[in-house]
């Protein structure tokens, strides 16, 4: 792992305007992505300014990913950014964090994905069966793999936790991203008193195990308009989308 998450694990938030290849954090809320004739994928509508000769077009996810996105509501809309110049990207003034993948994998919810380089492949993967409709963070999430820079956004400064150090659980809505080596499962704390409004409000937690990291924001998030919450799996949906 390299990038701003590495700094988070050591001494707090990264400083602004740090050079890092194609992605530079101009300030905590703004990413500058530099293009030299290549392309990148960015969250649809996230461009706030650009300098140079740059074009934007809605990305075509392909038939399989389009079908998964329609069934699960995971996999946020992306745009293809091409040309030469600097593009400034942001989303709701949320804090920006960069992650460098070196033939590695990471999982995130699409609402936390800001941009990634063309060397990164993406897909929609199921986290775990069961608990249909119970987990707002999603039974399905966006899976990124390859080599290149990824930019994530967080509501407030997140904390980086390493499950190898201690048993680790997170609210599914607060988990921004986690490394590909981790195993995930859902723990329930459902009691009879939950039915009469006396529950803790924390009846579902995501358990993470293994050697890796998870990034957790200090907010349970706000549901996006139109519903960014993933639909439950099971039956035909499981057969179509696979493991």
198-240 pLDDT, tens per residue? 444 556 788 899 999 999 999 887 654 333 344 344 444 443 4
Please tell me the pTM assigned to this model.
0.78
Strand order in the sheet with 168-170: 168-170, 204-209, 183-188
27-55 pLDDT, tens per residue? 999 999 999 999 999 999 999 999 999 99
55-109 pLDDT, tens per residue? 999 987 655 545 445 444 545 689 999 999 999 999 999 999 999 999 999 999 8
pLDDT of residue 223: 52
pLDDT mean over 136-158: 86
CB-based contact 2:66 (threshold 8 Å)? no
Which one has a higher pLDDT value, 186 or 83?
Answer: 83
Q: Which fold has domain 2-241?
A: Double-stranded beta-helix (3.60.160)
pLDDT mean over 10-15: 52
- Mean pLDDT is lowest, of 22-26, 75-79, 84-88, 182-186, for 75-79
Which one has a higher pLDDT value, 28 or 191?
Answer: 28
pLDDT of residue 97: 96
Pair of tokens at residue 169: 């659980």
pLDDT of residue 135: 46
Cα-flanking dihedrals φ and ψ of residue 115, to 5°? -165, 160
Residue ranges covered by each domain of the chain: 2-241
User: Mapping DSSP to helix (H, G, I), strand (E, B) and coil, where does residue 191 land?
Assistant: coil
Q: Please list the residues that pair with 170 across neighbouring strands.
A: 206
Say if residue 133's pLDDT is above 80: no
């Amino acid at each position: 792992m390299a990038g701003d998450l590495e700094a988070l694990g050591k001494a707090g938030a990264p400083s602004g305007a740090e050079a890092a290849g194609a992605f530079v954090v101009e300030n905590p809320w703004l990413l500058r992505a530099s293009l030299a004739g290549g392309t990148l994928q960015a969250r649809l509508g996230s461009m706030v300014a650009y300098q140079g000769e740059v074009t934007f077009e809605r990305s075509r996810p392909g038939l399989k990913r389009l079908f998964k996105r329609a069934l699960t509501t995971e996999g946020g809309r992306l745009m293809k950014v091409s040309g030469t110049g600097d593009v400034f990207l942001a989303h709701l003034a949320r804090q920006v964090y960069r992650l460098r993948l070196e033939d590695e994998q990471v999982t995130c919810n699409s609402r936390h994905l800001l941009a990634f380089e063309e060397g990164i492949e993406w897909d929609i993967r199921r986290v775990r069966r069961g608990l249909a409709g119970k987990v707002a963070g999603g039974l399905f999430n966006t899976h990124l793999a390859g080599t290149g820079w990824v930019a994530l956004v967080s509501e407030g400064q997140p904390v980086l936790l390493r499950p190898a150090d201690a048993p680790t659980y997170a609210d599914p809505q607060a988990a921004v991203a986690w490394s590909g080596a981790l195993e995930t499962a859902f723990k329930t704390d459902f009691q009879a008193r939950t039915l009469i409004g006396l529950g803790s409000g924390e009846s579902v937690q995501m358990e993470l195990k293994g050697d890796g990291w998870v990034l957790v924001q200090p907010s349970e998030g706000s549901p996006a308009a139109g519903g960014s919450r993933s639909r439950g799996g099971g039956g035909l949906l499981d057969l179509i989308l696979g493991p």
